[in-house]
Structure 1
Amino acid sequence: MKVTIEEMPGAELEIILRCPVADERVRSLAARLTALSEERIAVRAGEEIQLLEPDKVLYAEAVEGSAFVYTEDAVWPTRLTLSEMESMSEGFFRCSKSMVVNLRRIERLRSGLNGRLIATLANGEKILISRHYAAPIRWALLNG
């Protein structure tokens, strides 16, 4: 096996595995690389900082200059910006100016008024997706 690293300032991190056949060994390696690349989300829990797995997060919202992370059973303040959350994982997607949703936690989409969407999340909570972000989210869910 040959390993090559190319440094390209300003480029997005991309890992390409070239192989004659994508056997179980190659798929296992790809899965491990994916798991390593996923960052955790730092939230405040009183005087401590807690690290959340990205899949536990339903969505994040900016309210009056502060950002909050919502899980099924709690709301956590965070110092991360919505842009940082959005770029942290392919699963996070902007759904309005003040909210980022975890696409993996959307269970249903329904059309709303004026081109908006209503997303039902894993915990049954409903969030509004603005019409500006409706088409990209539909595309991401259908093609992702």
Structure 2
Amino acid sequence: MKITIEELPGAELEIILRCPRADEQIRSLANRISALVEGRIAVRAEEETRLLEPEEVLYIEAVEGTAFVYTENAVWPTRLTLSETEGLSEGFFRCSKSMVVNLRRIERLCSGLNGRLIATLANGEKILISRHYAAPIRWALLNG
């Protein structure tokens, strides 16, 4: 595999993937790159890929090796990792080992047991923020 980056001032961003055959892995890579560049999250919806705006997302959770994107009305599987989704929008923040939350969709925070926080999201759902991430999330919400 060869990766070439050309810097051309004033040029439009263009990404070309040259391959002998555009299989599922290459198409998945193209979807990931597109989502990362556009700041949107690629999710799978039956036989198609859908791109969600960050504002639509409440949180992303990893369950048994698969990440799921939760919106107010639906749950979508995604091929993105939690680490990749953290960097998509400045409002996305790790809140536990298996979850990234959209700080802009948190409506209330309450103290929980053992230094944890309970966040109430825009749809009324409550999620647990582990004590390891509680202080950074408080700081991000107060200073963000």
TM bucket (normalised to shorter chain) is 0.7 to 0.9
Kindly indicate whether the alpha-carbon contact (under 8 Å) linking 1:91 and 1:102 is maintained by their aligned counterparts in 2: yes
Kindly indicate whether the alpha-carbon contact (under 8 Å) linking 1:38 and 1:89 is maintained by their aligned counterparts in 2: no
**Ranges of 4+ aligned residues in structure 1 off by more than 3 Å:** none
The Cα offsets for residues 95-119 of structure 1, whole Å up to 9 and x where unpaired, read as 0000000000000000000000000
The Cα offsets for residues 22-66 of structure 1, whole Å up to 9 and x where unpaired, read as xxxxxxxxxxxxxxx751110000000001000100000000000
Unaligned runs of 5+ in 1: 6-36
Distance 1:72 1:82, change over 3 A: same
* Count of matched residue positions in the alignment of Structure 1 and Structure 2: 109
- Aligned counterpart, 2:52: 52
Unaligned runs of 5+ in 2: 1-8, 10-36
Distance 2:38 2:107 in 1: 22
Kindly indicate whether the alpha-carbon contact (under 8 Å) linking 1:116 and 1:134 is maintained by their aligned counterparts in 2: yes
- Aligned counterpart, 2:132: 132
Structure 1 vs Structure 2 CA RMSD: 1.1
- Aligned counterpart, 2:105: 105
- TM-score normalised to the size of structure 2? 0.74
1:64 corresponds to 2:67: no
Query: Deviation at 1:84?
Result: 0.4
- Aligned counterpart, 1:43: 43
Instruction: Report sequence identity in percent.
Output: 86
- Aligned counterpart, 2:141: 141
Amino acid at match of 2:120: T
